């Protein structure tokens, strides 16, 4: 009788889309090349989207080996399942892999905390999981021979209990020392496993039929992953792929990637994520881009594509990004700077473009009308409240008005942020919160996942960290969802009022006027942030009248409330400007009216027209002098017929990187 194998690679279903289990697909595809595995095992269950735990557990029957791909979004889910399995089937070998379990030099107390786990796989899993399955077929498995693992000591022959391998970065054997205090829950670290050299020869779950079987009963639309390179030459401390283990590139053949794209297209995959950390760096990436666009034009699939672009290579990635954008496959191009503070970049081993190159790149993108957006990380060591705010304002002054993504910093366990020495050096305070993403239903079904967040450093106390989040909220709803962006740009060009001055004064107005609409929105945001910090509520805010138990990002929630209270909001904006700046009344009234109509309103019918006494549009978009002349404008946008959920999903969430929240404005 064949032994039962089960695989778990659980992801959340977002926007009715389920993500195919690419990592476990690669692993099982490789295992099936082995004759002994094929003849002696059956894949009895393969789970890749979140379900109710008890119902899923009841589907597991007589497991011999279970493999769990683990990361922050499924860690507690996996632990709950693994514990229940071990209690019912104590002989089952439970194997953890993925980015969440500790690397070799951090695994020493893991099995004491997680006694239901037997083996951790470090690094690439294809060859290691194959060896585990083969060893499991033996009457007396000799687990210590399997390279690249941490293994519960109770599985190891006692003659090896007095030896301890010190392995660094899952890459090299640092030393072998003698020990005399091993217990059944101690950790035995095996010798390092070399990386796979010939990635091109590895089988594909798209091409060997594995995913054909898996998707037959899937009730959701499909997302998928492709891998045009594996590895990254950079060593950013906040990223796990920045370890020395993954520092060298490995690539599949172009023909293999194109055949996988054919599968994605034939099977109507909606969204494809390219796991390449530096897409655009290699010549064949141009062919991959062209082929993805070709398949969309022919079949409509994949509809969308996402990648991480090659760092500091604007000349290489610009044509590719332009091709994707014109095909409506990608939302523009990412410029991942992470921080504008040189001290921060040094601490995280990051080097950004400088000497005017950043401004040059932005100008290059703007000239092609290709949407670009910056990425910053909040909570990095050596950042201060002042440097964080200055960094955002510096980016806006560089005329980046399209979008900035500002993300809270997760202390990923296998980065330096998981190291006690690194945490001590920068005095990092870690707090457990809900996972740092929104747009999920906050129900009993999935409310137990947690994430370790950096909330304080030696230069950024907790209260300043919270203030940074308030500033993030301010800049995001005010500038990048657009609700006062045109006003601030007008003030900058017409009156030379800096963005920092404008937004600081706007925030001060909210604090001084707590009974206003904007003052109350500030208080609600601060209260929600406090709930996040205390781990009693998810990141963002739940608006029950829009959708029950559903967390919107902080700025999205405020944007929705602004649209429901637009007259009140812009009356307060008018009062704020009137109190702080000396602007003629008819000019100010016209400016606020322009701003009010320029942002997409789900309750309005488009196109709509409006007349203005001044050329506000030309001042804001062309930096022309203000003149008093009648200007007729037409505002175009999709009609949402008061469907706030659809509008919020499509413009505030999916479309924020291409400024979908703004109307298209034409001079009549």
- Residue 144: CB atoms within 10 Å: 19
Instruction: Pick the range with the lowest mean pLDDT from 160-164, 340-344, 573-577, 619-623.
Output: 160-164
**What is the rounded radius of gyration, in angstroms, for the C-alpha atoms of the chain?**
27
pLDDT higher than 70, residue 387: yes
Closest-CA residue to 97 (of 475, 392, 414, 315): 414
CB 280 within 8 A of CB 309: yes
pLDDT per residue as tens digits for the range 442-452? 775 556 788 89
% of the chain surpassing 90 pLDDT: 68
The secondary structure element, H or E, covering residue 375 is: strand 372-378
SS (H, E, C) 252-302: CCHHHHHHHHHHHHHCCCCEEEECCCCECCCCHHHHHHHHHHHHHHHHCCC
pLDDT per residue as tens digits for the range 97-112? 998 999 888 889 999 9
pLDDT higher than 60, residue 530: yes
| Size of the chain, expressed as the number of residues it contains | 668
pLDDT confidence band for 374 (50 / 70 / 90): confident
pLDDT per residue as tens digits for the range 445-481? 556 788 899 999 999 999 999 999 999 999 999 999 9
Give the mean pLDDT of the chain. Answer: 91
Closest-CA residue to 379 (of 429, 415, 414, 450): 429
CB 295 within 8 A of CB 224: no
d(CA 187, CA 9): 25
pLDDT higher than 60, residue 355: no
% of the chain surpassing 70 pLDDT: 97
d(CA 108, CA 124): 20
pLDDT confidence band for 356 (50 / 70 / 90): low
d(CA 572, CA 579): 10
652 against 239, higher pLDDT: 652
Please tell me the predicted confidence (pLDDT) of residue 245.
Answer: 60
CB 542 within 8 A of CB 551: yes
What is the mean pLDDT of the segment spanning 156-174?
Answer: 82
pLDDT per residue as tens digits for the range 540-564? 999 999 998 888 999 999 999 999 9
Question: Which own/partner pairs from 341-345 qualify as long-range (CB within 8 Å, at least 24 positions apart)?
Answer: 341/382, 341/383, 341/384, 341/387, 341/388, 341/391, 343/382, 343/387, 344/380, 344/381, 344/382, 344/383, 344/387
Instruction: Pick the range with the lowest mean pLDDT from 111-115, 250-254, 279-283, 662-666.
Output: 250-254
For the four alpha carbons of 618, 624, 626 and 628, in that order, the dihedral sign comes to: negative
CB 270 within 8 A of CB 221: yes
What contacts 146, CB < 8 A, 6 or more positions away?
Answer: 119, 128, 131, 132, 135, 190
Q: What pTM was estimated for this model as a whole?
A: 0.87
pLDDT per residue as tens digits for the range 46-77? 999 988 899 999 999 999 999 999 998 899 99
What is the mean pLDDT of the segment spanning 392-415?
Answer: 92
Please tell me the predicted confidence (pLDDT) of residue 28.
Answer: 97
d(CA 498, CA 520): 26
CB 14 within 8 A of CB 74: no
Gap between the terminal Cα atoms of the chain: 77
What is the mean pLDDT of the segment spanning 494-521?
Answer: 98
What is the mean pLDDT of the segment spanning 385-402?
Answer: 95
The secondary structure element, H or E, covering residue 154 is: none
Rounded to 10°, the helix 485-495/566-580 angle is: 20
What is the mean pLDDT of the segment spanning 345-366?
Answer: 75
pLDDT confidence band for 3 (50 / 70 / 90): very high
pLDDT higher than 90, residue 128: yes
d(CA 103, CA 650): 39
Please tell me the predicted confidence (pLDDT) of residue 333.
Answer: 80
- Note if the bond before 135 is cis, omega within 30 degrees: no
């Amino acid at each position: 009788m064949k032994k039962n194998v089960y695989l778990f690679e659980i992801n959340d279903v977002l926007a009715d889309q389920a993500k195919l289990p690419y990592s476990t697909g690669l692993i099982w595809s490789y295992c099936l090349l082995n004759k002994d595995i094929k003849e002696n095992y059956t894949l009895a269950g393969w789970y890749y989207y979140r379900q109710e735990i008890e119902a899923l557990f009841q589907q597991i029957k007589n497991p011999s080996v279970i493999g769990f791909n683990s990361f922050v979004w499924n860690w507690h889910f996996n632990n709950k399942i693994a514990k229940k399995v071990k209690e019912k089937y104590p002989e089952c070998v439970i194997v953890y892999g993925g980015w969440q379990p500790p690397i070799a030099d951090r695994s020493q107390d893991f099995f004491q905390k997680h006694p239901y786990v037997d083996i951790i796989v470090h690094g690439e899993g294809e060859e290691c999981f194959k060896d585990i399955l083969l060893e499991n077929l033996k009457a007396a498995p000799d687990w210590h021979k399997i390279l690249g693992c941490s293994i519960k000591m109770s599985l190891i022959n006692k003659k090896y209990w007095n030896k301890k391998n010190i392995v660094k970065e899952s890459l090299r054997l640092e030393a072998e020392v003698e020990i005399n205090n091993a217990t059944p829950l101690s950790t035995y670290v095996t010798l390092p496993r070399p990386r796979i050299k010939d990635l091109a020869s590895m089988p594909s779950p798209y091409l060997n039929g594995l995913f054909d079987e898996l998707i037959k009963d899937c009730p959701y639309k499909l997302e998928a992953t492709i891998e045009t390179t594996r590895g990254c030459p950079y060593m950013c401390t906040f990223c796990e792929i920045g370890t020395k283990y993954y520092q060298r590139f490995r690539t599949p053949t172009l023909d293999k990637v194109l055949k996988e794209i054919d599968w994605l297209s034939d099977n109507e995959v909606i969204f494809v994520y390219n796991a390449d950390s530096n897409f655009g760096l290699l010549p064949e990436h141009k062919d991959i881009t062209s082929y993805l666009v070709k398949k969309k034009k022919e079949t409509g699939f994949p509809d969308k594509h996402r990648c991480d672009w090659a760092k500091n290579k604007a000349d290489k990635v610009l044509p590719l990004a332009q091709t994707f954008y014109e095909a409506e496959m990608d939302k523009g191009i990412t410029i991942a700077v992470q921080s504008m503070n040189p001290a921060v970049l040094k601490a995280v081993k990051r080097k950004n473009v400088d000497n005017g190159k950043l401004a040059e790149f932005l100008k290059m993108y703007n000239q092609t009308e290709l949407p670009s957006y910056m990425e910053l990380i909040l909570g990095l060591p050596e950042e201060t409240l002042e440097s964080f705010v200055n960094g955002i304002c510096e980016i806006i002054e560089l005329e980046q008005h399209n979008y900035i993504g500002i993300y809270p910093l997760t202390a990923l366990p296998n980065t330096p942020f998981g190291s006690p020495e690194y945490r001590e050096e920068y005095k990092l305070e870690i707090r457990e919160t809900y996972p740092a993403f929104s747009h999920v239903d906050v129900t009993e079904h999935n409310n137990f996942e947690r994430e370790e967040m950096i909330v304080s450093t030696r230069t950024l106390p907790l209260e300043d960290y919270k203030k940074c989040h308030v500033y993030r909220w301010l800049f995001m709803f005010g500038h990048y969802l657009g609700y006062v962006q045109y006003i601030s740009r007008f003030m900058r060009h017409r009156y030379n009022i800096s963005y920092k001055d404008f937004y600081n004064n706007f925030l001060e107005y909210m604090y001084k006027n707590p009974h206003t609409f904007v003052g109350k929105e500030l208080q609600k945001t601060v209260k929600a942030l406090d709930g996040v910090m205390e781990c009693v509520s998810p990141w963002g805010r739940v608006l029950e009248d829009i959708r029950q138990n559903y967390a919107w990002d902080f700025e999205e929630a405020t944007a929705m409330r602004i649209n429901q209270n637009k007259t009140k909001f812009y009356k307060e904006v008018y009062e704020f400007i009137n109190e702080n700046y000396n602007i003629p009344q008819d000019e100010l009234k016209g400016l606020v009216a322009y701003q009010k109509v320029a942002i997409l309103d789900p309750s309005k019918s488009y196109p709509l027209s409006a007349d203005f006494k001044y050329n506000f549009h030309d001042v804001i978009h062309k930096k022309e002098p203000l003149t008093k002349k009648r200007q007729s404008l037409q505002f175009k946008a999709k009609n949402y017929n008061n469907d706030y959920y659809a509008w919020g999903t499509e413009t505030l969430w999916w479309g924020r990187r291409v400024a979908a929240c703004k109307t298209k404005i034409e001079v009549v």
